[in-house]
Structures are given as structure tokens and as C-alpha cells.
Structure 1
Amino acid sequence: MHDAVIVGAGPTGLWLAGELRLGGASVVVLETRPRRDENSKALTIHPRTIEILDCRGVAEPFLAEGIRIPNGHFGGLPDRMDFSVLDTPYPFTLALPQARTEELLEQRAAGMGAAVRRSCRVVGLSPRGVELADGEIVAGRFVVGCDGTRSVVREAAGIDFPGTDATTWGWLGDVVLDAPPERGFASVTGPDGGLMVVPLPGGVHRIVGGDPATDRPEWPGELTLDELRATVEAIAGTDFGMRDPKWLSRFGNATRQAAAYRSGHVLLAGDAAHMHFPTGGVGMNVGIQDAHNLGWKLAAVVTGRADDALLDTYHSERHPVGADLLRHTRAQTALITAYSAEGQALRAVVSELIASAPDMSGVLAERLSGLDVAYATGRRVREQDLPDGDTLFARLRTGEHVRTEAGLVRPDGHLAQLPPRGSPLTANTAQSSNSSRLSRRKPRVVRG
């Protein structure tokens, strides 16, 4: 029997698999798809997620391959938030296709001993784990649903998914452009709609946006190249010479959140726990951050280093983060779809505030980047030099608690409350050397 069965081999499930292996848990990841999806829903990696990658020693490939963008948009407004003011070693976002992100995260998980099984369609839960379509039972002490907005795990566990249905639709096309915008990027908004153009690897550009014609609850139908071309030309005055579509898709603003992130031995993370309009590219990032919070806790429980009650803090800490995510994506959706004259005036006023009020821009940038998340124990601890010359992020690569002058730092980078005397949770201290290596060392018991 595995300690944990993860359903879904997207970024959330793969990061969780690596975190569980780092903590000493046995894990299998089950994925319906026979191979990785080449069409990348997510492109953006935010500063807090880059910090998380650094805290596990795997940031370099992402930094080497991703396109660095030093600012971000709120609701598609023309004036962008300046990320250079953020208190992080990584004051930028990275543009990298989700397919490559998944490839890198799967390499990490598999390299640490996680089993990833594809062509395995989970149809329900069993008392021993999960049941596959062919009748096989995959046994696990815990089951984690990382299987998207239509989560089989969530439904089988009977966890409610309240929220609202779609009222508007966005569209995207990954296409070849014979006349791309200068520097490859473009952002155009007006009463006829709004769009952004972003370059992708392989000579392809992504055009993503929305328009008044799809501002309705009814499904508009499958997107065609002719429709995309006409819509883009109406908004931007040109179709940028688009041809040879690689992927055409629509997405709605249905917004829902799981009522509970834990139900007994079943837990949820990522899109299985929250769905929303993909404004600002935050979805994948919040999913990875869910997994980062859950991973060390679940590993500590299954290996006997912590009581089962520790898992309840996963819901109490991450559910409010998901609720805030939904609130902000709804606000951005309102701005994005403000096509009327009054809506355009509202967009202009808010955009001017972002440009002229640094404090406002800074607050929005912190929220979008994931750097402002705080739990009852405290906010994330920023990168810092330790007395022995090491750094906090390097020390966290062991997956253990770290003692610093600021206090005890949890494996997920947030301040910890001191555990009760005799607690089996472990920590390493700032006096040891060569601590940035990924090799596991004999744990030291933390006593409050």
C-alpha cells in the first residue's frame, strides 16, 4: 500500500509527489492521459512559485528557459504593475509553456522515486484507495485529488463545489503570425474587446482575449480560425497575419471552490479545489503552492513525525487563499469585460491609479505574485543569509524545519509556531555546514 495516491499528473500533482518523496512518503501518481498534453493552458510562473522552486534546488532550468517579464497586468489594464519593488530575489514572472513545466516537475518527482502511471482512469474511491476503469484497486492510506475542475476524487468523496456558472467566455489561439507585433508582445483593449499577444517557443504566438459577442452565459460553440481572425482584426485593426492554428480554445468564468480541502483520508489541491477565470495566470501557481503546503504535512503524518491533526491545518490555511483567489479573479474579470462606455471609463481610472499610486500598485503586485500569503503562524520568510554563510532557501532544500534568528521556519517557508515539547518534527540549524545539499541528514528533534 502506498502512503499516498495522487490523481492527476499536472503541475500540482507532480509537485506534491516530489514533496512527499522528499519527506519520506511512498507515492504513486495516476494520470488518465497516455501522454503529456502539448497544448499549454498555463504560461506564467509567478515570483512566489520561483522561490518555491529555489527552496528545493530546481529553479535553474525554469530561469534558464523562461522569458522574464518584469511587470504584470491587473484585469488587462494598460498600465502594468512594477514587480521590481517586490521583496524577492525574483521580481519578475517567467513565461514558460505548461507542457515544459510538467516535464521538468515529472523529472524531479520520478528522480526522487515517485511512480507516475499514465493511461490510468480513476472512476471512484474504494475503502483501500482508488478504483480504475479496468477494475484495478490502487491502494493508498491517503488519496489526493489533483485531477482538475471536473475532479472524480472530489465528486466521489461527496465534497461540495459551490459557486457560479459561466456568464462570459474568453478565447485563445496558438497560431503562426506572419506579421507579429513589435517585440512579439501586444496588449490592445477597447469597446470591441481586449486581447494580448505572447510569443511561444517554436515560432508560435498565443492570442488570448474576450469580446462583447461572447459576454453571455450560453456556450458560443467551438472556436474557428475564421472567427478568431475576424475578432482579432476588429479589436486590433489587424489579424497579425495569423495562420496554421496549433490550438484553438474557449474558457468561461465559472467560479467555484471546494467546501472542504480535506474529508477524512481524501484531500484536494489545485483546480480540483478551486476554479475561476484564468486572469493573471495565477491558477497553476496557486495549485503548486497548495501542494507545497500539503506535501510536508502529509509526509510528516504518514511517517509518524506528526499527528493526523496537522492535516486539518491544510484546509484552514489554504482555503482562505483560494477564496481570495476567486475574489480577485472575479474583480479582474469585471474589468476585462467592461466593454461599455462606463466600463471603459472605469478601466481608465483604475489603470491611472496603478500608474500614479505606487502603494496601490505594490499591494496588487504582492497579491498577484503570491508573496503576500500569510497564515496564523505568519507570512512567508524572505530569502536571507544565515550565520554560517548559507542561505535560507538553500537550507530548506532538505525539506526540514530550519531554525533562524527570526524563529523556526517551516519546510514551506513560513514561520512556524514552536511545537509542543517532545514533538517529533525535525529541524536543522544555522550552525551546520554543507547544508544546501539535497542529501538527507540525521534529523534533529525540535523541542519547544
Structure 2
Amino acid sequence: MRISVLLGAAALGLATPAMAEQPLLPVTEGVSQVRHPDWAARATIYEVNIRQYTPEGTFRAFEKHLPRLRKMGVDVLWIMPVNPIAKKERKGSLGSYYAVSDYKAVNPEYGDMADFRHLVAAAHAQGFKVILDWVANHTGWDHVWVEQHPDWYKRNAQGELEGYHYTDLSDHHEEVWADVIGLDYSKPAVREGMIDAMRYWLKEADIDGFRCDVAWTLPVAFWDQARVELEQVKPVFMLAEADTPEMQARAFDMTYDWKLYHLLIDVARGKADATDLAKLYADPPRRYPQGAYRMTFTSNHDENSWNGTDRELYGDGADAMAVLAATLPGMPLVYSGQEDGLNKRLKFFDKDPIVWGKFDRVPFYARLLALKHGHPALESGMERGNLRLIETGNPKVFAFRRVKGKDRVTVAVNLSGAPARVTLRGIGAQSLKGWGWSITPGR
């Protein structure tokens, strides 16, 4: 992705505007070998928490929301794990979605396989793609493989199974997941068994791909192999819960943009400003293959349950941060309930349904998602020359232009609660209310 940097040039060590026009290349040499599905370039993604979406917590109950989501502009449904949940060492009354007891079965709380097939078929008929949350790193303690293939699991020095020791790549904290046990990917049989289970869902339910939980914990070679073998069934879209560039060389279409997510929280809390956002793109911590997709977001199931609601994380700046997530390079994610101002942390191990109201934020998200659909400049793949940051003279106003061919979209966002007035090159004077923004297509 070539970036012409105009914002905060001196602070970034770029001596003059003339120097700033020189191309920066925060991408690796070469191009991603992943062939993205044709429909993905300007797609938007929505995470579905079946358990909490409705009082019933079933596939059939969620299915009634499909027309509303399609009208809002959602293209891809990421459905959280649908497998049965282990009972041994279960947390809470219902357990973690990510403590699977059978990779080839459906959680009966949600319905049965026929109900899931019906949901996927209904989604396809309305123009959605469906990707399934997949937990390849670990299983629950009473997964069917524990009896069938006890040698497939990691063991401690005493040869015993133990809770999975976990380091969170997004913020590097360490903990033990006592309700799950790790699989041993040094064994070819584990890799073959996992790919077989993933292939099952492509064939039996006609899903369109996978969101792969804690993908960075597994060997990249496994994911490379999985992509090749799954593509023999049908073209797939693969999202990794990871942010390492090597994941996107051959295996995954998209990874998480955690750096942007955490920076947006700091911006909303007054701990960072436009200079920091500019630096993220001018001097990125990692360089990704050209064509790689990043997923941009202000919430998801982990962030909502463990870190806070939009209001807790962003205060009055929630919508402004959502604008940035939707218009900066990447594919924007909306989490269940965000379109209605979800005002609580959903419980992770117990029933805690979303209380739907008047869907007050649907028009806001619909406008953002429509922009994505309507402008090649907002395509998700990282490309040289696509992002150009604009000097505003105010560290509390971040402005940039997305460019592809003749298409342009210029965005300016006020990063504070105080009104601001700026003049943008090629646009002119802009008056922005506190936490306000302007989006100017065509310029």
C-alpha cells in the first residue's frame, strides 16, 4: 500500500511536503498468493452471536433478522461456533462457545443440522455469504476425539491432559483456559482430522469459509495445507484471528487489525491523536502482502464481553471511531447489537439476550456500508497509492483520501468533543462538530 503522507509530516520525520509525496511501501515484497473470491473486494462483515441474538437463541429465530441485515448493507455473516459445547470443566451454565465437544455436530440449543442448512440456504438466497467460526487449536475435555484419538492431544510432563495455557496476541496477557485442552499439531493425523472436519461443513452445509479462532497458535504450514484442500471442495473465504503477515501469504484472505482497534480506543480517550493515526500508516509495525485484507472493527464478541461496550470504550466518540474503521483500509465489521447501540457486555458463559430497541444506529451503519459498496477506492485489499493522508494543521482532526483509478473518497474526522474548522486540500473549508466528520465522495 503506497501512502502519500501529508499529515504531521514533521512529527513523522518527513522533512517537507515534497518529501511526503514520495511513496512509502508498508507492504512486503510481492503479492499475496491468496485468490480472494470475486465478491469480497467491497464486502462488509457482521458477526452473529446466535446464543444472545434472540430470546430463543436459535438459528430459526435469527433467520428472521436476515432481511433487516441485508437492507443495512451486510454481505458476510460470520456465525460464532455452532458445535456442541463440552460439559466437563464447563464454565458458567452454558459454557464457552469455543469449548467444542464434536466438530461434526450442531449445538442442540440452536437447533439441528437441518435448521442450520436452512439458515445458510436462506442467507444465500438473500445475497449473503456465510463463514463459520472454527476452533482448531483446542477442544473441550469431553470432545469425541479424547476417547477416539487420545494421542492427538498435548500432554504435560506427567503425560496428563491439562487446561490450555494461552497468550493473547492482541494485548499479550497470559492466562489458562481451564475448560479446553490443546491439540498436538506436530502429528500429521491431527492436521488431517481437522481438515476433514472443516471439509464436512463445506459439503454438508454449503458454507463459504471460516473464521479461525486463535489462528496464530497453529503452524502456518497447516493453514496453507488447509486452504489448498478446502479449495478443492469450493472457493472459500478465510479470516484468521491473527495479525501476522505470513498468515496472508497463502492461507488467509483477512486478518485482524488489532493495532487500529487499540489506537481508536486511545484516540477516543484523549491518549492519542491524528499524529498517532498517521504514524500507524506511515510507519506500520508490520508489513503485509499487497492485496491482503485487514478486518477493521470497534467491537466483536471478545471486546464486548471482556473489555466493554461502545460507550465504555469510546464514550461520545463511538460513531466517529466507527467512521474511521469503516473508511480506512480494510473490511469493516459490525458486531451483533452495535446497530442498535448495544449497551451491555453480553455474558460469555450464560444466556444474556440482546434487548433490541428502535435500531437507532441502523441508518448510520447503512450509510457507511453503502459507501463501501459504491466506491472502488474503498476496496479492502492493501494497494500502493490507495491511502493519502491530508494535512489539517490540527492534531485533533484526522483527514485522508482513498484513491483507486478515477474514484476518490475524502474523509475528515474530529477526534475531540470540541468543534473544529479545517481547510482540506482539494475540498476547502470544513466545519466539524465535536466528534463529527465529513465524507466527500468524488474528491
TM-score (norm 1): 0.29
